Structure 1
C-alpha cells in the first residue's frame, strides 16, 4: 500500500477509518475489484480497537493484549499485499463534499501542516466511537483517565496509568479494561459498575444466540477472579480525591435511577482511576452531510442505515460503531456487507447472520447499561463540566434556571460549554442532561476537527468548500 497518490487517483471507494469495520471493508472491496483509499488519522492500521505497540518498543507478544488479534494480523497482511488499496495514514478528514464524486479534505503531516484531497465515487464511514464521560468532583485530577484511555496506554505504550487502579463507570468495556490492566501487573481494588447486570436477563434468547460474547465475558471474569478483583455493582465513583494527583475515590451505592444513596459512601485508596460510561458513535461528518440518525437504547445517536449499510445520503455508506456500538465482530461483518453493496454484489450469508445476532446483542447491551436520569445528583455546583473551557455545573444550572436555556445548544451559547478543543465530545452528553434536554443528535459543524487557517485559504482565496 502507498500513500502518495491520493490527489492523482479517482478511487471507487474511500473508507474513512482503519479500525475493524474499515479494514474489513477495504479488504472485501479490493477483493471485489474496487480501487480503495483507506483514510485514517492514525499512523498505522488498527484504529482504537486494534491499537498496538510501535515496533521500536519490541513487544514480543502484542496479541496478549487483544481479542481477535489473528483476524487483525490476517487483514493487515492481505491489505499490505493489495495493489488496489492505498492506505492514507495520518489523514485527518475535516470535510466531505458530494458532487459527481466525493471530495474529502484532510490535514496530514507533522502538526497537520499539509492539506490533502481524496476523490472517490463512493464513501464509507467507519469512524468508530469515543467514550462517554459523566463528570464528578475531582474528575479532572491527574491520574483520572478513561477506561479506553487506560487500555490505549497499555496497548500502544506498554505502560500503566498507575499501580493501584480503580476501574469504574458502566458497560462491558470495564471488564475488558480491568482484565487487561490486571494481567499487566496492576492491582485493581475494585470494579465499580453502576448497573446490576439485571438488564441482560430480559434477553436470554439474544444471549443464547451470541455464545461468543458469553465466552468472552466468562474469560474476563475468570481472569479477574484469579487476580482477586472485586466487582461492586450498582455503585459509582462520586468523588476523586487528591491535589497534584488522585490519591483515592469515594464510592457510593446507587438507587434504580442512579441517585447516590446517602450513608453508603466508602473511600478506596488508589493512584489512578479508569472511568467511562459506554461509547458514543462518532458521526460528525455524516451529520454535517445531512444523514438521518436514530436514538439507541442508551440515549446516544447513531446513523440510520438500511440492510445494505446505506445511509439516507446517496453514495454514503456506514459500518461499525457509527451505526450503533456493538463490538468488533459486528463491525467486521458490516464492513464486508457495505463493500458488497458498493460493488453491487449479493450480501454474504455469514455476515448477514453475524450482523443480525450482534445487532440484537448491541441493543440489549445498550439498554442494560443506559445511564439513569439522576446521575447528576453527584455533580456539585463547583464540578467542572466542560474541561476545555472550565465551565462549572453551577454555570450550566444557572443558564437553565435563571436564563431560560432549555437545551444544550442554548447552554453552550450562554456558557461556552462545548466550545473548546474537543468540541463537546467530552462534555456534550453531560451538558445535555444538566440542561434537561435530550442528548440526541450532535450539532452539525462544517469542520469535523480542528483545521489550520492556512488550509482554509487556497491561493485563489477560496476555501475549496461548496457554498
Structure 2
C-alpha cells in the first residue's frame, strides 16, 4: 500500500527572495508591492483565498453575487487581488494556499519555513527557503470568561461576522453584541443588515475618552467619519448602545436564552444591583483583538506591551523587526485596522525592496511612513480606551471555566496562586494545565495571566514552539535533514 504524502521524503526546498506569511490585507499588499519592485515572492497562507479575516468572501458554491455588500473598501481589495493574479500569471508570485506555517528557522543566510497542508496538517508538508521574511499573521479575538460563556449560543463577535461573510448565515435571530472595541459596532450593523434583531450593543468602555486626544482625532478624520456612519446605522436599525456595561452572566439550559447586563465602574467592576436581563438566543462577544506572534517570537523578534495590554512586535519606521532579515506588517505590530494594515504592507515591501536592491528611499515610502505614524497614534489611543480594566476578574465565579480545553476554573487558578505558591503564569499552567489544550492558550492566556495577578507577565508574549498542530510524522521527518 503506498505511503501517504505526509510520509514521503520531503523534496529539496525551493528558494525565493521574499517569503510573505499571511495573505490578509497587510500580506497581500506587501506581496504585490514587492513583486511590482521586481522581487521573486512566495505568499503562504492557511486559507484557500486571499483576504484574511477582514476580507472573508462567501464560498464559491454559495453563489453569492454581491460579496462586496458585506465589506468596506472592497474595490481596493479587488484591485489588489487583480494585481496578485497578474503576478501569478507572470511567475513573479507563487501563492501557496492551504499552507499552515508551523515554524521558521535560520539556515545560513536564509530563513527556512516549514508548513503543513490540509485542514489537519495531514495532506502534506512543504519546506521553503527565503532570503528575507515578512510576517503578516494578523490577530486573534480576545475573550474574557464569565458565568455561562461556554453555553451553546455564545460566539465570538468576530466569529459571528466571519459566519456571515463566509457562510452567509446568522448564528441566531435575536443577538446581543457585547464586549469592547470599535469592531462591535461593525458586527452589530452587519448582523442587523442581514436580518437579525440586535436588542443591544453592550460596550464595557465608553467613547468619551477619545475626546482627550483631540490632535490624534484631528489627524485621523476618516476614523471620525467611520464612527459617525456606524452611529447613524445603529440608530437606523434601532440598536441600543449601552456603554460602561458588560454581560456578566448568560442564562439558559441547553443554549442561550438571555443575558444579564451590569453597569461597570471605571475599573470594570460590576456595580451591585445594576444587573438586568435581556432576552436573546445568541450572544456575540469579544474584547478586541490581540496580535498573533507565534512565528515572530519563535525566531527571537522583540516585543513591546501595547496600550491595550497585549504584546506586539517592536518595529522601526521601515517595519523591520529586531531580527535582521525579518519584517512585519499589520496587526503583528499592534491592532490598528485595515487601513493601517494596507499601508504597512506596502511600506514593509518597499523597505524590503530597498534592502534587496539598494538605493535611497522614495517619496512614496516617506509618505507612507507619515501616514503610518498618524494611524498608529490612533491605534494606541484606541487600545488605551478599550483596554480591559482590572475589575473584569470580578465577573467570574469560582466555578467559571477559564481554560475551556482543559476545563480549568477561576477557583483552580486562584488556588494555584494563593495556596500552591504560583508566582507566574507558567507555574499556574504547570499546576492547573490551563493553556495546555488544543488552542495552546490562545483563547485563555490573557485571562489566566490577569486572574493569577502575575504582574511580571503583563504584556509578555506567549511562546509556543509550534505555531499550529503538526502530525508527528512531519516532525520526525523534519529531524532528518538527509531526507530533504
TM-score, normalization by structure 1 = 0.96
Instruction: Tell me, yes or no, if the aligned pair for 1:456 and 1:464 is still in contact at 8 Å.
Output: no
Q: What is the aligned partner in structure 1 of residue 97 from structure 2?
A: 89
Q: What is the aligned partner in structure 2 of residue 184 from structure 1?
A: 194
- Which SS does the other structure have where 1:456 is aligned? helix
Q: What is the aligned partner in structure 1 of residue 432 from structure 2?
A: 415
Alignment equivalent of 2:410, drawn from 382, 389, 393: 393
Alignment equivalent of 1:32, drawn from 28, 37, 48: 37
Give runs of aligned pairs for residues 372-383 of structure 1, distance below 5 A. 372-383=389-400
Q: What is the aligned partner in structure 1 of residue 112 from structure 2?
A: 103
Q: How far apart, CA to CA, are the structure 2 residues paired with 1:16 and 1:6?
A: 20
- String of CA shifts for 1:141-165, please: whole Å, max 9, x gaps: 1111111000000000000110000
Q: How far apart, CA to CA, are the structure 2 residues paired with 1:463 and 1:225?
A: 65
TM-score, normalization by structure 2 = 0.93
Q: What is the aligned partner in structure 1 of residue 453 from structure 2?
A: 436
Give runs of aligned pairs for residues 62-461 of structure 1, distance below 5 A. 62-82=67-87, 83=90, 84-99=92-107, 100-109=109-118, 111-113=120-122, 114-344=124-354, 346-347=361-362, 348=364, 349-437=366-454, 438-458=457-477, 461=480
Instruction: Tell me, yes or no, if the aligned pair for 1:94 and 1:106 is still in contact at 8 Å.
Output: yes
Instruction: Tell me, yes or no, if the aligned pair for 1:456 and 1:462 is still in contact at 8 Å.
Output: no
Structure 1 regions of 5+ residues with no counterpart?
none
Instruction: Tell me, yes or no, if the aligned pair for 1:309 and 1:337 is still in contact at 8 Å.
Output: yes
- Which SS does the other structure have where 2:213 is aligned? helix
Instruction: Tell me, yes or no, if the aligned pair for 1:199 and 1:367 is still in contact at 8 Å.
Output: no
Q: How far apart, CA to CA, are the structure 2 residues paired with 1:155 and 1:463?
A: 45
Coordinate RMSD, CA, aligned = 1.7
- Which SS does the other structure have where 2:257 is aligned? strand
Instruction: Tell me, yes or no, if the aligned pair for 1:53 and 1:158 is still in contact at 8 Å.
Output: yes
- Which SS does the other structure have where 1:351 is aligned? helix
Instruction: Tell me, yes or no, if the aligned pair for 1:456 and 1:463 is still in contact at 8 Å.
Output: no
Q: How far apart, CA to CA, are the structure 2 residues paired with 1:451 and 1:384?
A: 27
Structure 2 regions of 5+ residues with no counterpart?
1-9
Instruction: Tell me, yes or no, if the aligned pair for 1:6 and 1:118 is still in contact at 8 Å.
Output: no
Q: How far apart, CA to CA, are the structure 2 residues paired with 1:462 and 1:405?
A: 40
Instruction: Tell me, yes or no, if the aligned pair for 2:317 and 2:369 is still in contact at 8 Å.
Output: no
Instruction: Tell me, yes or no, if the aligned pair for 2:306 and 2:459 is still in contact at 8 Å.
Output: no
Alignment CA distance shift 1:459-1:288 (3 Å):
closer
Q: How far apart, CA to CA, are the structure 1 residues paired with 2:233 and 2:290?
A: 27
Matched pairs, number: 461
Q: How far apart, CA to CA, are the structure 2 residues paired with 1:104 and 1:387?
A: 31
- String of CA shifts for 1:216-242, please: whole Å, max 9, x gaps: 111111111111100000000000111
Instruction: Tell me, yes or no, if the aligned pair for 1:252 and 1:266 is still in contact at 8 Å.
Output: yes
Q: How far apart, CA to CA, are the structure 1 residues paired with 2:478 and 2:330?
A: 38
Q: What is the aligned partner in structure 2 of residue 44 from structure 1?
A: 49
Which moved further from structure 2: 247-256 or 108-117? 108-117
Alignment CA distance shift 1:445-1:463 (3 Å):
farther
Q: How far apart, CA to CA, are the structure 1 residues paired with 2:184 and 2:327?
A: 30
1:461 Cα deviation from its structure 2 partner: 4.6
